[in-house]
Structure 1
Amino acid sequence: MLLTILTLTSFAVLVRIIANPLSNVFQKQLTQRAANPLFIMSVTYGVLTLVGLIFWPQLRFYGLSIEFWQSMLVSSLFAMFGNVFLVRAMHIGDLSVLGPINAYKAVVGMLFSIFLLNEIPGWWGLAGVVLIVAGSYVVLNDKQQRSGSENLSTNGLFQRPEVRLRLAALVLSAIDGAFLKKAIILSTPTIAFFYWCVLGFGFTFVWISLTMRTTWRSQVEVLLSQKTTYLALCAAVGVTQMASNIALANMPVGYALALFQISALVSVLFGYQFFSEQGILRKLIGAGIMVAGAVLITVLG
């Protein structure tokens, strides 16, 4: 048991659980300081690309299959849209609510991995996913009860723009995870990480060129004034993605995405600590149910 806990894969999952909510904190802080979500992601991809070029000169462009490039193109495109939608959602919503919503990614990722990678989940794995989704509902239900002026039905909840953006982001990133796993199988976690950054930067740069011709200069000013937060975000995103790649290389996509949802507990705590978000007790209970589901997947899935 101890040897299992100390494996590189387990360590990668643990690192990802901490680093991902931390990156969300920096993203939310930047949007509160007038940074555009698209520009935030473009800078993140660009800085990580430069880091890759400096520290991994052995990364190759040749010798990679057509299937690898196809998988990376699809993965990077979906990841770009998913990340931009995520940052937009963080700007207008609570971290302690939007973090746990991400639990549904495990379900989407598992469905796509069945068809793309022939990864068939076991019964205990499915039970763990159900617990994770149930825990996320507890968190969301708390948010509904605090918003007395809103429709308390589930449909009313999903009409809120931040929730819809977060759901769109998680669907896109779950699809990204399935294609990214395929690219990792055809190369290595490091190579897939590098080209995820390169292609992400290319896609966001084109998007900025088409939509931010009159505002990019003001965004550069925000970048210079908030360079410390930007650098912290780049580090957090880089660690998150590299840890995700290592985990995906050694685990089924659905299970990996499910385990990542333990970060819901961290998101709730960070939302309270950094942004004074309310309803902490019920959200912690919901996040605890999600952790139980993740443990079920780890031990018996």
Structure 2
Amino acid sequence: MLLFVLSLTSLAILVRIVANPLANVFQKQLTERSAEPLFVTAATYGFLSLVCLAVVTLERLVGLSTAFWTNMTACAVLSVLGNVFLVRAMRIGDLSVLGPINAYKAVVSMLVGLVLLDEQPTLAGLTGIGLIVAGSYVVLRQPGASSPLSMAVFGRADVRLRVLALLCSAVDGVFLKKAIVVSSPLTAFSYWCLLGFGLSMGWILLAQRAHCASQLRVLWTQRATYLLLFLSIGLMQVSTNIAFEGTSVGYALALFQTSALLSVLFGYQFFGEQNIMRKLLGAGVMVIGASLIIVLG
């Protein structure tokens, strides 16, 4: 039984590592074809909600505790915001740049622990922060820049949006883990979809109702890419939930960071992004730094 759990968790982590950058590829492709980030987010939640309602038994969706609802609602709100920020960032930025920035999630987690829990960073944690910062400058530095180290890169709109998405996802993971503990990965996934769809559709009706007809046309013409996005996001979230149930959040997040390397490769393969070797080097340094913080920090 133990070997089965370990193998299932390992498979889930592997699927998540591949599915995350693939989802980013399809998100970027859709926004390049006139899809609005909020509609991409709502359509993703909507399709996955239909799948959940078709396969999940009613018994799994009722009789849940107050703790579940509190954590799941907080997770859903942050998840919707994070997804919209992420897709907006993908629309205007390079996948090979924005993917590795996710390693900063480990820094955010450490700062939250320092402020809220008075957890003092270890030498490994401080070393990890240094590696992430150094690696990010390698990834973000523009060719021909007068200085390799400049905070100006964080003033870019795509980087700011990606950091906002990262902040949301760093916090929503905590609430998601708590919701899984008092329910199950499948139940938490179902309400992640249903609540996310309700929140994103409410946002559309309040702020972007006039664009609904045009966005539905885009959805139909780009239905193949949308379907690939739905599948990759579904696999990513289900595998995340299984990984969180089967191992510590810190260990899982450390392994998830390796998807940064795939983001760089996918940026080159699908969008012809340049300076790939430099970005791979920087992303690799950031992965090592994130792993030090999460596992040893």
Corresponding position: 1:27 with 2:23: no
2:93 counterpart residue number: 93
Distance in 1 of aligned mates of 2:37 and 2:290: 30
Distance in 1 of aligned mates of 2:204 and 2:90: 20
User: Is the Cα–Cα contact under 8 Å of residues 259 and 294 in structure 1 kept in the other structure?
Assistant: no
User: Is the Cα–Cα contact under 8 Å of residues 72 and 196 in structure 1 kept in the other structure?
Assistant: yes
Distance in 1 of aligned mates of 2:35 and 2:62: 37
State the Cα distance separating 1:115 from its structure 2 match: 8.6
Matching residue within 209, 212, 216 for 1:213: 209
Distance in 1 of aligned mates of 2:58 and 2:114: 34
Q: Residues 165-215 of structure 1, C-alpha deviation per residue, up to 9 Å, x if partnerless? A: 000000011110011111011111111011000000000000000111211
SS in 2 for 1:283: helix
1:65 counterpart residue number: 65
Q: 1:113/1:155 Cα in 2 relative to 1: closer, same or farther (>3 Å)?
A: closer
The amino acid across from 1:199 in the alignment is L
Q: 1:126/1:298 Cα in 2 relative to 1: closer, same or farther (>3 Å)?
A: closer
User: Is the Cα–Cα contact under 8 Å of residues 23 and 233 in structure 1 kept in the other structure?
Assistant: yes
State the Cα distance separating 1:139 from its structure 2 match: 3.7
Corresponding position: 1:266 with 2:265: no
Q: Residues 273-298 of structure 1, C-alpha deviation per residue, up to 9 Å, x if partnerless? A: 00011110111112222444566689
Q: How does 1:181-196 map to 2 (within 5 A)?
A: 181-196=177-192
The amino acid across from 2:271 in the alignment is F
SS in 2 for 1:271: helix
Corresponding position: 1:232 with 2:228: yes
1:126 counterpart residue number: 125
In terms of mean alpha carbon deviation, does 197-206 or 105-114 score higher?
105-114
Corresponding position: 1:146 with 2:139: no
1:55 counterpart residue number: 55
In terms of mean alpha carbon deviation, does 120-129 or 93-102 score higher?
120-129
State the Cα distance separating 1:105 from its structure 2 match: 1.1
Corresponding position: 1:74 with 2:71: no
- Give me the TM-score of the superposition, normalised by structure 1: 0.88
Distance in 2 of aligned mates of 1:123 and 1:7: 31
2:174 counterpart residue number: 178
Distance in 2 of aligned mates of 1:204 and 1:72: 15
Q: 1:135/1:288 Cα in 2 relative to 1: closer, same or farther (>3 Å)?
A: farther
Q: 1:295/1:161 Cα in 2 relative to 1: closer, same or farther (>3 Å)?
A: closer
Q: 1:76/1:227 Cα in 2 relative to 1: closer, same or farther (>3 Å)?
A: same
Unmatched runs of 5 consecutive residues or more in structure 1: none
Task: State the percentage of identical aligned residues.
Answer: 54
Corresponding position: 1:164 with 2:163: no
Distance in 2 of aligned mates of 1:259 and 1:135: 20
- Give me the TM-score of the superposition, normalised by structure 2: 0.89
Unmatched runs of 5 consecutive residues or more in structure 2: none
Matching residue within 195, 199, 205 for 1:199: 195
User: Is the Cα–Cα contact under 8 Å of residues 45 and 197 in structure 2 kept in the other structure?
Assistant: yes
Distance in 1 of aligned mates of 2:80 and 2:109: 17
Count of residue pairs the alignment pairs up? 295
Corresponding position: 1:282 with 2:281: no
SS in 2 for 1:7: helix
State the Cα distance separating 1:270 from its structure 2 match: 0.1
The amino acid across from 2:281 in the alignment is I
SS in 1 for 2:183: coil
1:38 counterpart residue number: 38
